Amino acid sequence: MDRMNKEVILEVKGITKLFPGVRALNKVNFNLYESEIRALVGENGAGKTTFVKILSGAYQPDEGEIYLRGKKVVIPDPYQAQQMGISIVYQELNLIPYMSVARNILLGREPRTSFGFVNTSELIKRAKELMEILEIDIDPESFIYELPVAQQQMVAIVRALSVNPDILILDEPTASLSEHEVEHLFKVMMNLKKRGVGIIFISHRLEEVFQVADSVTVLKDGEVVATKSIKEINQDKLIKMMVGREFVNIFPQKTPITTKKEAVFSIRGLTKKGVLKNINIDLFRGEIVTIAGLQGQGQRELVRAIFGILPVDKGEIYLEGKKIKITNPRDAIKAGIGFLSDDRKTEGLILCRSIRENISLPTLKRRGVWGFVKRKEEKEAVISQVKALDIRTTSIEQEAQFLSGGNQQKVIIAKWLLSNPKVIIFDEPTIGIDVGTKIEIYHRLRKLAQEGTGILIVSSDMIEIIGMSDRVLVMFEGEIVAEIPAEKISEEKIMAAAAGEKTP
């Protein structure tokens, strides 16, 4: 990148941040130039979020200095950060669920009437204008909790941009976005870049880094490994810098089944008016089946219906040939079905409980009584999962809320792996998971399948779908419109079916 005549907007010198028992950042130096899109990458727990939270005033550093356009500053809180021109979209969205989209966008800056009340019509008008500039089509009057995560993400981005920042920070903004929305976001980023805005972009999807960034900084264990221009690096080199070793096989050997004899799990005629149309699925022992499709075609609803979260009009579920009745998640867990939700924050974790408790929860439920589980056994089982998935923590007694985003997700995965279910449904299993662990998870899933667990994955990650599936089912408008066997899986085939093209 040509930095010759560009001004440095941000200079960070020797930032250190300590949490009890962890040095989250160690003497980090970091410069950002005008019109620069800088990717920030690293393993789960490397310190990325901690770093940007210091820039947004959410955390105070223990050591180090920050300069904005050459002037030394202290960033006392997120509000002041905004005043200084730094705007952030957090990894865990902090929108207010029971407030409107418009109110969330302009929170703290609401237009008021002469009596001091919020001027609702003006509020909606302004929010609409802001969204129009960014070509985002969301009803400003709808409540946040009514929106899918992807739209919430877009609202958070509109909010961050509404203050015309000089520096924009995006902490994994694409994790829950569809391909189309990602393209859109990148366009917005390019426009901001033209206007001189400096952007820090955190992502675990390295393809994106190469698509949009000018340069990349790698963090590892709280330290900067290197900052490189995107032109002088490639994906393999980047992975090596992040993880410290090279990878040969990202995906394990597939094991497509030849005889469709023993269905571990079957669904017959699952129907919910306007949402799911007569869904039939057989999951055979040993195979991994993925459900693909554009966002919002009923995938979310399907897996929630199976797990007893979403009531349906009709349909039957069979586990190992036996018909089972599921009216709530407890029934599902008892029957031996696990479900990793893509909504990890509300459906996956108990934030105020320890890692140990979170991981052993469904296992304990299944065995019934606390008394039957030996404490020592439980602890050993949890520790082995923590090791296998490389969950970065000071202790298994650490509360889940203090883990980095990716490590929280690993806890949920560990929980289901440990509970040894007959069928696990993974809704977007590797969102926010770093590349090294992703590979570990892929191999674990394959092993589970080989050992007989039925594995159903819902994914929007094309590379993952192609790499992992023995069979792909594609959904369109609440219906399964295509079934693609392993040897025929390709991006074109999946995309065609996802667009509604029916295959016989």
Ligand X SMILES: Nc1ncnc2c1ncn2[C@@H]1O[C@H](COP(=O)(O)OP(=O)(O)OP(=O)(O)O)[C@@H](O)[C@H]1O
Number of neighbours of residue 165 by Cβ within 10 angstroms: 20
Residue 408 interacting with Mg ion (CB under 5 A): no
Residue 421 interacting with Mg ion (CB under 5 A): no
**Which residues make beta-bridge pairs with 39?**
201, 216
Judged by beta carbon, residue 171 or residue 181, the one nearer ligand X is: 171
Stretch that binds ligand X, among 7-15, 350-358, 403-411, 496-504 (CB under 6 A): 403-411
Residue 224 interacting with ligand X (CB under 6 A): no
Single residue of 48, 126, 205, 356 touching ligand X by CB under 6 A: 48
For residues 415 and 361, the answer to whether their CB atoms sit within 8 Å is: yes
- Cα distance between residue 219 and residue 28, in whole Å: 9
Amino acid letter for position 203: S
Single residue of 61, 173, 336, 405 touching ligand X by CB under 6 A: 405
Segment 271 to 310, residues that bind ligand X, using CB under 6 A: none
- Cα distance between residue 224 and residue 222, in whole Å: 7
Residue 406 interacting with ligand X (CB under 6 A): yes
Tokens of 133: 């500039």
Stretch that binds Mg ion, among 20-28, 49-57, 103-111, 179-187 (CB under 5 A): 49-57
Residue 89 interacting with ligand X (CB under 6 A): no
CB of 395 to ligand X, least distance (A): 11
CB of 441 to ligand X, least distance (A): 14
Residue 45 interacting with Mg ion (CB under 5 A): no
- Cα distance between residue 170 and residue 316, in whole Å: 43
- Cα distance between residue 263 and residue 286, in whole Å: 10
Name the pairing type of β-strands 86-89 and 167-171.
parallel
Residue 22 interacting with ligand X (CB under 6 A): yes
| Chosen from ligand X, Mg ion, none, partner binding at 35 (C-beta under 5 to 8 Å by type) | none
Amino acid letter for position 276: L
Tokens of 355: 């890692």
Single residue of 31, 35, 49, 295 touching Mg ion by CB under 5 A: 49
Q: Report CA torsion sign: 74, 78, 80, 85.
A: positive
Residue 393 interacting with Mg ion (CB under 5 A): no
Which residue intervals of 201-278 are DSSP H helices? 206-212, 235-243
Quick one: which H or E segment has residue 99? Answer: none
Q: 423 burial class (0-12, 13-18, 19+ CB within 10 angstroms)?
A: buried
Residue 344 interacting with ligand X (CB under 6 A): no
Stretch that binds ligand X, among 242-250, 397-405, 437-445, 478-486 (CB under 6 A): 397-405
Judged by beta carbon, residue 165 or residue 406, the one nearer ligand X is: 406
Single residue of 407, 453, 459, 469 touching ligand X by CB under 6 A: 407
Question: Phi and psi dihedrals of 300, rounded to 5?
Answer: -55, -45
Single residue of 266, 404, 430, 460 touching ligand X by CB under 6 A: 404
Segment 411 to 470, residues that bind ligand X, using CB under 6 A: 434
- Cα distance between residue 405 and residue 334, in whole Å: 28
Length of the chain: 504
Block residue for tokens 């080989």: 450
**CA nearest neighbour of 403 among 440, 360, 359:** 359
Which residue intervals of 147-219 are DSSP H helices? 149-161, 179-194, 206-212
| Chosen from ligand X, Mg ion, none, partner binding at 251 (C-beta under 5 to 8 Å by type) | none
Judged by beta carbon, residue 24 or residue 303, the one nearer ligand X is: 24
**CA nearest neighbour of 425 among 315, 308, 312, 258:** 308
Which residue intervals of 389-434 are DSSP H helices? 405-419
CA distances from 369 to 288, 364, 372, 373, 419 (A): 32, 7, 6, 8, 14
| Chosen from Mg ion, ligand X, none, partner binding at 22 (C-beta under 5 to 8 Å by type) | ligand X
CB of 432 to ligand X, least distance (A): 6
Single residue of 91, 152, 266, 360 touching Mg ion by CB under 5 A: 91
- 53-82 mask for ligand X (x: CB under 6 A)? ------------------------------
Longest dimension (CA), the chain: 74
Tally DSSP H helices, then E strands, for the chain.
17, 20
Tokens of 89: 């979209």
Single residue of 405, 421, 429, 454 touching Mg ion by CB under 5 A: 405
| Chosen from Mg ion, ligand X, none, partner binding at 45 (C-beta under 5 to 8 Å by type) | ligand X
| Chosen from ligand X, Mg ion, none, partner binding at 445 (C-beta under 5 to 8 Å by type) | none
Residue 354 interacting with Mg ion (CB under 5 A): no
Judged by beta carbon, residue 49 or residue 354, the one nearer ligand X is: 49
Stretch that binds Mg ion, among 43-51, 174-182, 265-273, 300-308 (CB under 5 A): 43-51
For residues 465 and 290, the answer to whether their CB atoms sit within 8 Å is: yes
Judged by beta carbon, residue 251 or residue 402, the one nearer ligand X is: 402
Judged by beta carbon, residue 128 or residue 204, the one nearer Mg ion is: 204
Judged by beta carbon, residue 362 or residue 406, the one nearer ligand X is: 406
Q: Cα 484 to the chain's mean position, in Å?
A: 26
The site for Mg ion, by CB under 5 A, has a size of 4
Residue 403 interacting with ligand X (CB under 6 A): yes
- Residues in touch with Mg ion (CB under 5 A): 49, 91, 404-405
By the criterion CB under 6 A, which residues form the site for ligand X? 19, 22, 24, 42, 44-50, 91, 392, 402-407, 434
